[in-house]
Every structure is written in C-alpha cells, then in structure tokens.
Amino acid sequence: MVPLPTVFVVDDDRAFCQSLRMLLHSAGLRVEDYSSAESFLEAGCAQRPGCLVLDVRMPGWSGLELQAHLRAKRLRMPIIFITGHGDIPMAVRALKAGAVDFLEKPFDDEALLQCVYHALERDTQRRQGEFSRAQADARLARLTPREKEVMQLVAAGRSNKQIAAELKISHRTVEIYRARVMEKLGAKSICDLIRIAMTCEEELCTDPLAEAADH
C-alpha cells in the first residue's frame, strides 16, 4: 500500500508544534512533528509522501541547511518555511531553492492550510508523474533500437511512407514495426503511443532541481 500523505512539522518550539498539530488535525490531515532537522532525517521521513513545514532557525541544522541537504540528495519533498524573524534575502534564497512558500509568524491559519494543500497536491502530482515515467521507461526497454526509431518518427507525425523513405525500408516493414511497437507499449492508439513517447522525453529533458538552481 502507498503511505498516506503526511505533513511533517520541524520546529524546536514545542508549544508551536502542538498548536500547529491541532490546526492540521482539525483539517483532517496526518501530522508528525520533530524538534530538529537531524531528528527528522533520522526518522527516515524524507522519501515519504507529504510536505514539510519547516522553521528557518533551529539549534543544529537550520531549515535552509536541511533544504540544501534534501536537494543534494535529490529528495523533492515540498517545503513551506515559517519563521518568527526572517528577512527578504532569506525568503528569496528559500524560494529560489524550490520552497513552496515562506510565511512569517504570526500567520493566518487559513493561509497556512492553503499552502499545505498546495504542497501536498504538488507532491502527489510529482509522484504520479514519476510513476508514469517509470512505467513508460519499462515499456520502452522492451523495444529494439529500430523499433525505437520507428516509434520516435511516428510520434513526430511522420507517415508510414515518410518513415520508410527516411529509414530506407519498405512500407510493409514499417507497418510490421509499428504493430510491434504498439503491442510492446500497450498502446491502443497513436495518441497512446505519442503520450508514452512524450512522457519519456520529459524525463530526459526536465530536471526540476536543476531548473530551480538556474534561476
């Protein structure tokens, strides 16, 4: 079974953690709280579904240091930063590194909940995308190099006649390859085939962590 999404609160202020836990529970959300970045990491939570509500300043690792560590490990849990004494450069740094939002205490409860809902939705979409890409990659691994060429040309909108001319094979051979590609990919239509090809192309061309670091 896939674990249910959890809101992980990391803050050394125990009274604040208890208050936040009550708020999130009242909204029907699963919550776990930790008093330090180190205890959060030791609990092995970073790869679980959910999001992270993270204090910027804490004894030991700061929130920004934890964010940098997760990025270095390519762990993409969405982060909402909260602080009682943040500043604009700190917020800019956190947001450029991929944080969902940066809230200053005291904050409006509804504003925090909306940030949490957004972060959980982002995490769900990312995981669904990764699952779809893994499925597509597994199917593509079954194709021969020639079948992959035919698939790419079909996905690019080439006709059988054009593919035959480009690959210097017969029209009938193209039809055979197309049928094999459709069967191996489990594609019921050309639209299915194109979607699978696009999913794999996105995996090769898109790196959210790299994009965040470039901005």
In single-letter form, the type of residue at position 33 comes to: D
Same domain, 161 and 197: yes
DSSP string, 141-160: TTS-HHHHHHHHHHHTT--H
Residue 23 within a domain? yes
Q: In which order are the strands placed within the sheet that holds 6-10?
A: 30-34, 6-10, 50-55, 79-83, 101-104
Same domain as 69, residue 13: yes
Q: Does residue 135 lie within any of the structural domains?
A: no
Structure pTM?
0.67
- Please report whether residue 85 resides in a domain: yes
Answer whether residue 211 shows pLDDT above 60. Answer: no
Query: Is 137 part of a structural domain of the chain?
Result: no
pLDDT, tens digit (0-9, with 9 covering 90-100), for 73-85 = 999 899 999 887 7
Q: Give the domain-ending residue among 108, 130, 152.
A: 130
Residue where a domain terminates, one of 72, 101, 130:
130
Task: Give the Cα separation of 98 and 117 in Å (integer).
Answer: 16
Asked whether residue 13 is domain-assigned, the answer is yes
Assess whether 152 and 111 both reside in one domain. no
Lowest mean pLDDT among 57-71, 92-106, 129-143, 188-202: 188-202
Verify that 110 and 204 share a domain, yes or no: no
Q: Is the pLDDT of residue 192 over 90?
A: no
Measured CA to CA in angstroms, residue 215 lies from 68, 69, 77, 123 at distances of 15, 19, 19, 21
Total of domains in the chain: 2
Q: Which of 130, 154, 186 is the last residue of a domain?
A: 130
pLDDT one-digit tens code per residue, 11-69: 999 999 999 999 999 999 999 999 999 999 999 988 899 999 999 888 899 999 999 99
In a domain, 15, yes or no: yes
Res. 200 pLDDT band, cuts 50 70 90:
low
Query: Whole domain around residue 69: which residue ranges?
Result: 6-130
Residue 151 sits in the same domain as residue 99: no
Distance (Å, whole) CA 9 – CA 30 = 11
The answer to the question of residue 199 being in a domain is yes
Q: What is the distance between the alpha carbons of residues 129 and 187, in angstroms, rounded to a whole number?
A: 18
